[in-house]
Amino acid sequence: MMMDLLRRFRPQSPSTEASGGTRLGPVWDFHCHLLPAVDDGLRSLEETRAAIAGLRALGYQGAVLTPHIYPGVYDNNPDQLRDVFRALRQEIEGEFRLHLAAEYFADATLFTAMEREDILYLELGSQKIVLVEFPTLMPTPEGVDVLLQLHRAGYQPVLAHVERYRYVQLEQSIWLPRLERSGAWLQCDIGSLAGQYGPHPQAFARALLDQALPMLWGTDLHRVAQLERYVEPGLAVLAKSGHHINAVLEALAA
């Protein structure tokens, strides 16, 4: 049962030839808060430029920006975020490749957004990728239902930083099959591998990595200082694992 589950979640990595060499590190970041001054992420264009320089130094060629859409906390909406994104893209002028998605908090407002087809997603071939986060300490009734409904509506949901949810850590044998049935892909934060969120997320992220379960890894970058302190050592753990990270995003380069 567990082996079947692991096989179904395991990403299909392209061959090293198809991906252009023996590189195993991520080219694309999936999940970061680089869009300036729209949430708790980077606070200015200057900070965003510094973050992009840092990401490039680590080998990244591009990023999928995922600003929060969290009603009552970060009241962003797709149109406003697209405007800020367009302005940032003009400033960056091709130095670094950027795509826009969002990090949605899983509450009932997402059902309304689905009805209106007003969802900010990453277009990846024919797939519409939507990043969703749960609360950290207690599950909500809407949580898994949001993933299921998105999947049924033709989106590909991705659960953000699965390793950080306390209830998932404590009841993995219940939660991992439940998430698998929802159709969601799993995303982990690279910094978790280096202890950014403490020992429990670190241990869980390392266990998930050993099983090659997460389909996507992200910096979840909010501050430039995270890069040196957590992302760089986390990337070293990923490189040691031998897994080809974020291979699915290489379709973005096409």
Footprint of Fe ion (CB under 5 A): 103, 220
Q: In the bound complex, what is the minimum distance in angstroms from residue 87's beta carbon to Fe ion?
A: 21
For residues 103 and 163, which CB has a smaller minimum distance to Fe ion in the complex? 103
For residues 143 and 244, which CB has a smaller minimum distance to Fe ion in the complex? 143
For residues 13 and 109, which CB has a smaller minimum distance to Fe ion in the complex? 109
Q: In the bound complex, what is the minimum distance in angstroms from residue 162's beta carbon to Fe ion?
A: 13
Alpha helix ranges (H) inside the chain: 2-9, 45-57, 78-92, 109-115, 142-152, 166-170, 172-182, 199-210, 225-226, 232-241
Cβ(194)–Cβ(233) below 8 Å: yes
Q: In the bound complex, what is the minimum distance in angstroms from residue 18's beta carbon to Fe ion?
A: 30
Pairing of strands 103-105, 68-69: parallel
**Whole-angstrom Cα distance, residue 123 to residue 139?**
28
Contacting residues for 17 by C-beta, under 8 A, at least 6 apart? none
For residues 29 and 220, which CB has a smaller minimum distance to Fe ion in the complex? 220
Q: In the bound complex, what is the minimum distance in angstroms from residue 254's beta carbon to Fe ion?
A: 26
First to last CA, the chain: 37
Residue number of the CB atom closest to Fe ion: 220
For residues 163 and 220, which CB has a smaller minimum distance to Fe ion in the complex? 220
Q: In the bound complex, what is the minimum distance in angstroms from residue 33's beta carbon to Fe ion?
A: 6
Cβ(174)–Cβ(168) below 8 Å: no
**Whole-angstrom Cα distance, residue 205 to residue 163?**
5
